[in-house]
Amino acid sequence: MSQQTQKLRLNALIALVVGSMIGGGIFSLPQNIAEHAAGGAVLIGWAVTAVGMLALAFVFQTLANRKPELDSGVYAYAKAGFGDYMGFSSAWGYWISAWMGNVGYFVLLFSTLGYFFPVFGQGNTPMAIGCASLLLWGVHFLVLRGIKEAAFINQLTTIAKIVPIVMFIVLAAVAFKADIFTRDFWGTETPSLGSVMDQVRNMMLVTVFVFIGIEGASVYSGRAEKRSDVGKATVIGFLGVLALLVLVNVLSLGIMSQPELAKLQNPSMAGVLKHVVGEWGAILISIGLAISLLGALLSWALLCAEILYATARDNTMPAFLKKENANHVPVNALWLTNTMIQIFLIITLVSSGTYTSLIYLASSMILVPYLWSAAYAVLLCVRGETYTQASRRRIKDLVVGAVALIYAIWLLYAAGPKYLLLSALLYAPGVFLFAKAKREQGQVLFKPWEKVIFAAVLMAALGAAYALYSGFITL
């Protein structure tokens, strides 16, 4: 199969972005947000999120057009701007975040199926894990058949899972009541929510999770039929998903009160629609969630393998990860990814609570790659690289990049020191693969300033390990 047959068009790239972002998060959004914020804070939080994430989407669009030689998005930008180790760390963190997210999708999928088949329980029973394992390797061999073929199937599942979400929005709009939405608008009757600022900050911990995947097209920039399509797909996909998320969240607050939503079991969209139309509403959402998760599993299987392959192709990870099969699929990267998923699926049988915490930890890890991408966009503007001196475009991109950078820093603050500290436990072991890659190239392991960075990561990892052992922090 020729490389040209693997090129992805705009519609496939948009589907990858949408498919990556819409997984299980949107179906649990009403409860997840209501647990942290009332209606007024929700509107403020979505406004801040819209500005910050749109700026980040524009950053990926700008970098895709101005640095066409940099494929693979988040990894390539970190390396180009801040060196090999930061590039490797971005790829490593992104990869861990991606495959851990897939473990979560498998568990949530079979938890949803437990609505119809009690033997699956909460998605972590022996039967559920056995079936999840069969599905995992089914997806694995599907992806091995080719990137383009898998991307086409992803387009179909993306369309299929949008349908129940749109139906929910239409039915919820009809049932929406303004008096319910404005009841205790600022959460003053629920002291546990805290101040409006606390509500906004805590809510944004949720919104960042549902937007992970916004960089999906950038990861595939090297396989895009037209380079300009990468930026278009990112912005179009983001705006579409943003509209769906806001509508699902806001309309739910006009059907059930904030305390009622906060008590719902997930997927909470099912509970909201059941409140509107009865039992068939819950069934519809459960089926939609199952389709959504199947599509997300495929999207993230593609992304996990691609990020390892691209990093190895650039000699930042060991050479064995850039091996492709006859269909131009990074076979070793895919095997490594799905082996890790299989291991953690087995772990969920005995440690579901710890596993759930690790999912949030893994999600927070992707904030660092986002931060370096925004910082690189600002760096290009400051240097004037790829810009004519004092051009209006340069000033505009500098402002957008600065907004995205400030937003990324804010997200790190919102995530809190606990997750930043614990993430070092996952970042630190990656140095072994980094060292192997450097040895293959006959290069020194670290540059002087990279030694300082790694020392800080190692100290944080040791501190986190001690804190866990001592019980000062828990997973």
Least trusted range by pLDDT, from 133-147, 170-184, 275-289, 367-381: 133-147
**In this model, does residue 4 exceed pLDDT 60?**
no
**In this model, does residue 67 exceed pLDDT 90?**
no
More confident residue, 297 or 203: 203
Per-residue pLDDT at 45: 92
Provide DSSP, 247-311.
HHHHHHHTTS-HHHHHTPPSSHHHHHHHHHH-HHHHHHHHHHHHHHHHHHHHHHHHHHHHHHHHH
**In this model, does residue 352 exceed pLDDT 60?**
no
Per-residue pLDDT at 414: 80
- Report how far residue 14's alpha carbon sits from residue 5's, in angstroms, rounded to the nearest whole number: 18
The three-class DSSP label of residue 330 is: strand
Most confident range, picked from 95-109, 191-205, 388-402, 444-458: 444-458
Please state the pTM of the whole predicted model.
Answer: 0.81
User: Per the domain annotation, does 4 fall within a domain?
Assistant: no
Amino acid at 270: A
User: Per the domain annotation, does 87 fall within a domain?
Assistant: yes
User: Which residues have a Cβ under 8 Å from the Cβ of 399 and sit 6 or more positions away?
Assistant: none
Instruction: Supply the mean pLDDT for the chain.
Output: 83
| Rounded to 5°, angle at Cα 65 from 60 and 70 | 75
Per-residue pLDDT at 247: 95
Per-residue pLDDT at 220: 61
Per-residue pLDDT at 221: 62
Q: Averaged over 53-59, what is the pLDDT?
A: 87
Per-residue pLDDT at 5: 44
Per-residue pLDDT at 202: 85
More confident residue, 160 or 75: 75
More confident residue, 19 or 247: 247
**In this model, does residue 406 exceed pLDDT 70?**
yes
User: Per the domain annotation, does 1 fall within a domain?
Assistant: no
Give the chain's domain count: 1
User: Per the domain annotation, does 475 fall within a domain?
Assistant: no
Least trusted range by pLDDT, from 17-31, 40-54, 221-235, 443-457: 221-235
User: Per the domain annotation, does 5 fall within a domain?
Assistant: no
Write the pLDDT tens digit of every residue in 42-51: 999 999 999 9
Write the pLDDT tens digit of every residue in 139-166: 888 778 765 555 566 566 666 677 888 8
Work out the pLDDT band at 171, boundaries 50, 70, 90. very high
User: Per the domain annotation, does 2 fall within a domain?
Assistant: no
Per-residue pLDDT at 390: 63
**In this model, does residue 292 exceed pLDDT 80?**
no
Work out the pLDDT band at 284, boundaries 50, 70, 90. confident
**In this model, does residue 222 exceed pLDDT 70?**
no
- Report how far residue 364's alpha carbon sits from residue 421's, in angstroms, rounded to the nearest whole number: 11
Least trusted range by pLDDT, from 173-187, 198-212, 246-260, 435-449: 198-212
Q: Averaged over 340-364, what is the pLDDT?
A: 73
- Before 267, cis peptide (omega within 30)? yes
Per-residue pLDDT at 98: 82
Q: With the C-alpha atoms ordered 308, 313, 319, 322, is the resulting torsion angle positive or negative?
A: positive
Per-residue pLDDT at 310: 80
Which residues partner with 224 through β-bridges?
8
The three-class DSSP label of residue 395 is: helix
Q: Averaged over 68-95, what is the pLDDT?
A: 84
CB 168 within 8 A of CB 32: no
Per-residue pLDDT at 127: 92
User: Helix 39-66 to helix 228-253 angle, to the nearest 10 degrees?
Assistant: 180
Amino acid at 466: Y
Write the pLDDT tens digit of every residue in 437-474: 999 999 999 988 889 999 999 999 999 888 888 877 76
- Domain containing 461 — which CATH number? 1.20.1740.10
Least trusted range by pLDDT, from 11-20, 249-258, 276-285: 11-20
Q: What domain range is 376 assigned to? A: 10-470
More confident residue, 140 or 230: 140
Per-residue pLDDT at 362: 72
**In this model, does residue 283 exceed pLDDT 80?**
yes
**In this model, does residue 7 exceed pLDDT 90?**
no
Per-residue pLDDT at 319: 92
Burial class (CB in 10 A: 0-12, 13-18, 19+), 141: exposed
